[in-house]
Chains A and B, each alone.
Chain A
């Protein structure tokens, strides 16, 4: 098809979309990568991607096949039209042995044409019509010849033409064009036959009388008369025409009528169906087939990777206390306890170190312990907080200051539950630090020094 208003990249993209709709997304990682690197708007990227995927996936070949097959189909139809036209003229005039029945000849030459013309006009008026036409026939024939029943580019082409508003025009062009061809070849054959053979013309009628027939012929002869064709005398109608002058007149009349009532309408309609220029936005990016490409081609987010990698330092070895101080007395201290009603527990003979939170409170307690280390130290932690490095470092420092240290992990406040994962994290961290911990208050150990 040399005259194809749809640009090929667009056609490829649309065919690919229909195919992906049916078969699923193609393997397009490389194509998408190259497309993203090339840049452009979403529409341009979609076309570029289709262009990159076309050769390998057989799409390009299918399109070329289809074009070839359509051209072949067109050729076949053209040949059929020419032959048909010639045959029409032949059958209308007959072999020359019998006189030619003029009204019948005219009817057989133009009848089918006028019928299909009426059908086309009716199709114009009805919505969604115009599907029964030679254009459809051509497409079907092309489809059959192209041997690609699976995903032919045909439907994509039709969709695009429809969106461009050119589909009806194209089918109209086709119908009128083929009929014009048929009628022209018919006319040519007519002229040829009339020139080469001797025909007798006769008007026959059973139903109509001479007067109305004359009126009809007069009417029919008006338009050809305007173009310069001779207007025969309708008075001698029903007698067989035998002289040369009369025959030539009638032959010209026949040719004139055919030209005016056959070829001319079709020619005018053909000119009316000529293509308009293509509208700009044929690529409808809101279709689902394209929408899911949006994220692949114009990604909203992309990873920048690791910018500052983890040097994977080994965790500093926990310093075992060189000499565990002997210490004196029992102390309990809370770390980051907040709004807990169960603190401090009432224990006899145990010093209350308070709740450590900020730097000052930590520093002052650590100073005191450095100068006067306790023999037994209970550290109370709330497992609702995270067992982060800072807290663990503090626990280590406190442990190094005291004789023996234990950790009490508070139970959940009334009506709530502890997060089991966070509790497990606490256990893991404390075990790794070598700290004895429990979820119950080791009151006896704290007060008396043994369990």
Chain B
């Protein structure tokens, strides 16, 4: 088998063939999906590659709707005493005029299965095992290609998977794949390709290559997502705004900080969506904790903190001004004293100049605004929630994701990670403070925090 492996996805109408293909190709715009029967009326293909090399061609076919009548017609063509095998009889059937008229759609399905290497027969496991499905399988079986049945909708409590397995076994089809809508996509796909490899031994190496490629890409995506979130957190943690002492100036500065931080978070969200090849129109509220591609709950509302279980810190300004910790320069200086000594010895211009500025500010009575720990926790939790949803994309989760995993307790209540603390002492690391010097120290810190986020 030197060409790509060709797979025809066949089955009764409305069983979820096109949806399955969307999941396998990770293309939300493949084909057309609707509740009406007979939505797909043509054969459409998609090619899956690994490392730039084409591996698998998948073909979406129209649903079979009239199998009983077609089988009737098929059987009536048989002459007594003839010695034709299945594929030959099917070809004869396809040549009849009925297959260009009444059975035009079914003919497309049979033709694409004959031209493929194998077929995936998709079953709606909620349906009873009716005669028309048996007739479909009989016709498809006569095409002479290996068939792998895929049981869809197995998550529904009313499904009849066992009855189907029995019927399939009687037809000689013993390898059946469950494709759950709630299982994580990595697992479901892998099992499907592994079962296919059992059915088609010569195709095993390329299918394993496909599985490996998907796994690699997923890891890469997660790693990059970790770095993006870490970048956001470092920017937020290192942010410092000087502010004059009187209340109106403080209020204005807090407002500005809120706006800037919201925008920065939104940018992170957009980058994550882009990374997982999601466009903002696709980001529906039921799948992702977003509303039209934006967070529904405001970052700075105390209610948001409460919902996610983050405790409000003690250093908060009164009223609704959550999220800006007023940091007296004394505290700030002690935090950074060690850094200052290192800076003088190493001779970093930036730190020296910033200390000059802060000394001056101290003398003239300025203060500094920083972002509170609680907000950092909230940012981390929200973004991790989004990341989890994006990773499991492709299988429509029916409910909003619940944030109850114990790994996130650390972010909720525990000590903030070390890179975040370090960032507090380096205001030059924050994009929110103006121009960013991309120095390697910051890069290393971001990478370390990214890894920590993924382990959590």
Residues of A with Cβ closer than 8 Å to B? 18, 25, 39-41, 119, 122-123, 126, 128-133, 136, 155, 158-159, 162-163, 286-288, 291-292, 294-295, 298-311, 313, 316, 336, 338-339, 357-359, 362, 385-390, 393, 416, 419, 421-422, 425
Are B49 and A302 within 8 A (Cβ)?
A: yes
Whether the pair A307, B348 counts as a contact (CB closer than 8 A) is no
Stretch of B84-92, B130-138, B305-313 lying at the A interface: B130-138
Q: In the complex, what residues of A have CB within 8 A of residue B49's CB?
A: 298-302
Nearest A-chain residue to B344, judged by Cβ: A132
Say yes or no: A288 contacts B131, CB within 8 Å.
no
Which of B26, B45, B66, B349 is A388 in contact with, Cβ under 8 Å? B66
Known: A300-B49, A359-B135. A129 touches B346 (CB 8 A): yes
Chain B nearest CB, measured from A426 CB (Å): 10
If A132-B347, A294-B217 touch, does A362 touch B66 (CB 8 Å cutoff)? no
Residues in A with CB closer than 8 Å to B57 are 304
Given the contacts A388-B37, A425-B35, A131 and B348 also touching, CB distance less than 8 Å: yes
Interchain CB contact under 8 A, B65 and A390: yes
Enumerate chain B residues within 8 angstroms of A163, measured Cβ to Cβ. Answer: 440
Residues of B within 8 A of A362 (CB): 68
Chain B residue nearest in CB terms to A303: B46
**Segment with Cβ contacts to A, from B166-174, B269-277, B360-368, B392-400:** B269-277
Contact of B46 with A292 in the complex, beta carbons under 8 Å: no
Most buried by A among B36, B274, B275: B36
Q: How many A-B residue pairs have CB under 8 A?
A: 173
A362 to B165 alpha-carbon distance, docked (Å): 26
Q: Give B residues with C-beta under 8 Å from A.
A: 12-14, 25-27, 30, 35-38, 41-52, 57, 59, 63, 65-69, 71-72, 101-102, 104, 108, 111-112, 127-128, 130-132, 134-135, 158, 213-214, 217, 220-221, 223-225, 227-228, 231, 271, 274-275, 277, 342, 345-349, 437-441, 443
Q: Contact: B38 with A357, CB < 8 Å?
A: no
Across the interface, A301 reaches (CB within 8 A) one of B25, B65, B66, B111, namely: B25
- Which chain A residue shows the least CB distance to B441? A128
Tell me the bound Cα distance from A307 to B271 in angstroms: 35
- Taken together as a complex, chains A and B put the C-alpha atoms of A123 and B131 apart, in Å, by 83
Chain A residues contacting B437 (CB-CB under 8 Å) are: 155
- Complex Cα distance, B274 from A39, in Å, reads 23
Task: Tell me, rounded to whole Å, the shortest Cβ–Cβ distance linking B397 to chain A.
Answer: 20
B66:A309 contact, CB within 8 angstroms: no
Enumerate chain A residues within 8 angstroms of B36, measured Cβ to Cβ: 425
Bound Cα distance A338, B275 (Å):
47
Partner of B346, one of A40, A132, A162, A303: A132
Chain B's closest residue to A295 (CB) is B277
| Contact A307/B45 with A119-B347, A162-B440, A286-B223 known, Cβ cut-off 8 Å | yes
Q: Cβ of B13 and Cβ of A386 under 8 Å apart? A: yes
On chain B, the residues within 8 Å of A386 by CB distance are 12-14, 37
Give the distance in Å from the alpha carbon of A416 to the alpha carbon of B25 in the complex: 34
CB distance from A240 to the nearest CB of B (A): 42
Which residues of B have CB within 8 Å of A421?
35
A358, closest chain B residue (CB): B131
| CB atoms of B27 and A307 under 8 A apart | no
CA distance A294 to B227 in the complex (A): 16
With most chain B CB atoms within 10 A of its CB, the pick from A41, A301, A387 is: A301
8 contacts between A and B (CB under 8 A): A41-B52, A122-B345, A288-B224, A307-B44, A307-B112, A309-B42, A311-B104, A390-B69
